[in-house]
Structure 1
Amino acid sequence: MNVKAIAKFALPLGIVAATAVTVMLILNNPPEAKFSPPKTAARILVEVQKIERQPYTVAIDSYGTVRPRTQTSLTSQVSGQITYISENFREGGFFEKGEIMVRVDPRDYRAEVKVAEADLILAQQTLSEESARADQAKADWQRLGKKGKPNDLVLRIPQLQAAKASMLSAEAKLGIAKLALERTEIKAPFSGRILGKHVDIGQVVSANTSLADIYATDFVEVRLPIKNSDLPLLNLPQEANRQAPAAIPTQVLFYSDLIGDQQWSGILVRTEGAIDSDTQQLYGVAQIDKPFDLTPPLIKIGQYVNASIIGRTLPDAIKIPNSAIYQGTFVYIEKDGLLQRRNVRTLWKNDEDALIAEGLEEGENIVLSPLGNVVSGTPVKVAGRDEPTKAEGAAQ
């Protein structure tokens, strides 16, 4: 056989031989499976808080705008030229009750008083003359010895009554003239502040002209909406029986950052007589006494304020952080190193705290760390706890 023929058969035979050798090696040296011991289950590190019953005073959040107790228009009751205005008669000016704010030119009214006084003197003179004539008529009747009772005309009774009526009319006109003269000095009806003025010195005004808008400064009020669910937690002012002894006033704290950090204290003085038709909520009215006694006065009419109404104190409340409640319905409890999902019913809550009505018991550990959707039975490690629990030891 030539070389080409030998090469043609040798190559396939070599491949078959190599394959056979490889198979023999694999059969004589089978792979061995190596098993490692199970690893410890991963545990979530959480912070917990032991639940304790303790007294808790509820503070209901609300809001409103500052409004005056009394706001009215200072009005002129006479006409004339303004000859005087008070230095306090300007926007923002403070005034006291009875202070003369504006004076109208009184000369015409003084003249009318003198005319009315003269008319009264004439009426008094006429009355005196008619009284004397009536007495003389009665004496003449008796002197003449006439029998019977004289009629009114003989005794000049109608003339006497007319003279009395004229005098009474003159007295009334004098009183009206003096009242008009007195009204040329427009006085403050109460202690307050100018909200806005409409006239100035030299201006001619007529009767019923609005001179300024004013409001009282003895106290201000704030109208506060109250959620229906919060009403049982508040000591509302007595309404059903006005003769009942007054309860302890409900305190209200007000906050504003309009001009720095501001704070005022007031009381809840009443509730409105009807439910608001738009919000279907009851509104309470709080009062801040002497709000302008600060120097300088910081509170402003129309200012928006946040309010905290101090409610009832619950003697044995279960309080937990509001952030520990998921979807508003459940929390996580840690027991023996394992998580438990627990449904709860909330009695009341604010941005920070929540009071639990049902679902938790005193002594249990509530999980404070934020968790996702974790199933009950998940092992956890409590931060700050050195010794593992039985469940943790079994897991290890």
Structure 2
Amino acid sequence: MVVVWLIFKTQPSAERHAAPNEPQISVQVVTLQPRDMPIRITSYGLVQPRVQSQLVAQVAGKIIYIAENAREGGFFEEGELLMAIEPDDYQVEVDIAQANLADARARYEEEEALAEVAEQDWKRSGNRGKAKALVLRKPQLAAAEAAVHSAKANLKRAQLNLKRTKIVAPYHGRSLSKNVDIGQVVGVNAKLGVIYADDAVEIRLPIKHSDLMFLQLPEVANISNKIDLLPKVMLRSSLNKNHRWQGKVVRTSGAIDENSRQLSVVARIEDPFNPVDVGKHPLKINQYVAAEIEGNIVKDAIVIPNKAIYQGAYVYLFTDGIVKRQDIHIVWQDSHAAVIHDGLKAGDQLVLTPIGQAVSGTPVKLANTVDKQSMVNKQNTQATERAGATP
């Protein structure tokens, strides 16, 4: 009896556990609403001159002058003298050519007079037949005339070579590099330096194939008369995001790149070195920049924050106290948000709280909900405002 009593006295008591269907996870959700989404396409590229020229010596000789503005980084005006080659030898060639021309003209005048005398002599001779050209000295006169033309051409060439001893800026621009210095003797076709026009710079920007559908690209030949239709581009320095420049897409590459299989667009920035723009940081050639290209506006788009997307393929929806895994098709995505083409609709309650690899049907309870997709709008309007800001 004592043993039985001890068994009943010491038996374990049952603990009360929560019901298996009672939700243990608290989630925050947002009710999806369609909105107009301005698309911004991101790309990267190097700043390059719109026009770049290699200065080449067209005559040989010794460098006797280099302008300060012709040195690396210098700005120069159109028509400004950048370099000069010793002109003495070429001035001598001009003097010789002028003397040869004067001699050729004198010989021509002499032959012209002799031809007139020969014609008169033929008439006085009484011969009724037609005089031969040699008798009338026509070949001699033609040769003298040809000698005058040759002398003129030689003088023109000598004057041209003399002019070529002065290397003059073909446009308003800036010096990129200088390869020679004063006293150096250069030959014909020697590379003297590199210059570029400073009225505009261009950036080649590769575009993913999936992003082309969101851009109005200047593919037609007469796009130049529709400048207002060209997509705007906001460029930012990779070193300082506060340095910004605004430009436009002016053309596309003529072919798909063989290696990347991407089409590139060319963005142009006018007056990149204009000091009138207070606070505008000057661009540098070969500078690496990030670009946001203004794309189309997607009407009535379903836009969700990236943090709600799992493995780039699905999201979780809140339905009747449980979570449901929903596959999605993303048509466009940036660093903040994604535009969904298929899988979601207006009124769906999107789970924003990270819940890992939850199983569909897992019971959850609501935390504070986000009203009218304010969370999504906050995530995405940052990109819109940043792209729409002016430098």
Matches within 5 A, 1:1-396: 20-23=1-4, 25=5, 41-239=22-220, 242=222, 246=226, 248-258=229-239, 261-294=242-275, 298-384=282-368
SS at match of 2:210: helix
Q: Looking at CA atoms only, which structure, 1 or 2, has the larger radius of gyration?
A: 1
5+ unaligned residues in a row in structure 2: which ranges?
370-391
SS at match of 2:330: strand
Offset of residue 26 of structure 1? 6.2
Describe the superposition over 1:8-54 as per-residue Cα deviations: whole angstroms up to 9, x where unpaired: xxxxxxxxxxxx4444x469989797786966924422222221111
**Residues 238, 290 of structure 2: 8 Å contact kept:** no
Distance (Å, rounded) in 1 between the aligned partners of 2:320 and 2:189: 82
> What letter matches 1:275 in structure 2?
I
Distance (Å, rounded) in 1 between the aligned partners of 2:161 and 2:224: 46
Report the CA distance shift for 1:245/1:118 in structure 2 as closer, same or farther (over 3 A).
closer
Distance (Å, rounded) in 1 between the aligned partners of 2:89 and 2:65: 16
Offset of residue 260 of structure 1? 6.6
**Residues 238, 246 of structure 1: 8 Å contact kept:** no
**Residues 23, 365 of structure 2: 8 Å contact kept:** no
SS at match of 2:110: helix
Distance (Å, rounded) in 2 between the aligned partners of 1:124 and 1:37: 124
SS at match of 2:38: strand
Offset of residue 322 of structure 1? 1.3
SS at match of 1:88: helix
304-313 vs 198-207, greater mean Cα deviation: 198-207
Distance (Å, rounded) in 2 between the aligned partners of 1:66 and 1:80: 35
TM-score w.r.t. the length of structure 2 is 0.85
Offset of residue 79 of structure 1? 2.0
Report the CA distance shift for 1:345/1:221 in structure 2 as closer, same or farther (over 3 A).
same
Offset of residue 356 of structure 1? 0.6
**Residues 74, 211 of structure 1: 8 Å contact kept:** yes
Distance (Å, rounded) in 1 between the aligned partners of 2:240 and 2:6: 88
Describe the superposition over 1:82-136 as per-residue Cα deviations: whole angstroms up to 9, x where unpaired: 2222121211111122211011222222222122111111111111111111122
Distance (Å, rounded) in 1 between the aligned partners of 2:112 and 2:336: 90
Offset of residue 214 of structure 1? 1.7
128-137 vs 278-287, greater mean Cα deviation: 278-287
Report the CA distance shift for 1:133/1:29 in structure 2 as closer, same or farther (over 3 A).
closer
Distance (Å, rounded) in 2 between the aligned partners of 1:64 and 1:114: 54
Report the CA distance shift for 1:33/1:89 in structure 2 as closer, same or farther (over 3 A).
closer
**Residues 214, 295 of structure 2: 8 Å contact kept:** yes
SS at match of 2:246: strand
Describe the superposition over 1:340-388 as per-residue Cα deviations: whole angstroms up to 9, x where unpaired: 2222111111111111111111122211111112233333333336xxx
Distance (Å, rounded) in 2 between the aligned partners of 1:27 and 1:304: 83
146-155 vs 199-208, greater mean Cα deviation: 199-208
Distance (Å, rounded) in 1 between the aligned partners of 2:10 and 2:52: 102
> What letter matches 2:245 in structure 1?
W
**Residues 243, 281 of structure 2: 8 Å contact kept:** no
> What letter matches 2:149 in structure 1?
L
376-385 vs 201-210, greater mean Cα deviation: 376-385
Distance (Å, rounded) in 2 between the aligned partners of 1:28 and 1:172: 132
| 1:6 matched residue in structure 2 | none
> What letter matches 1:340 in structure 2?
K
> What letter matches 2:332 in structure 1?
W
Describe the superposition over 1:127-172 as per-residue Cα deviations: whole angstroms up to 9, x where unpaired: 1111111122212222333202111011110110011011111111
SS at match of 2:69: coil
RMSD: 2.7
> What letter matches 2:134 in structure 1?
L
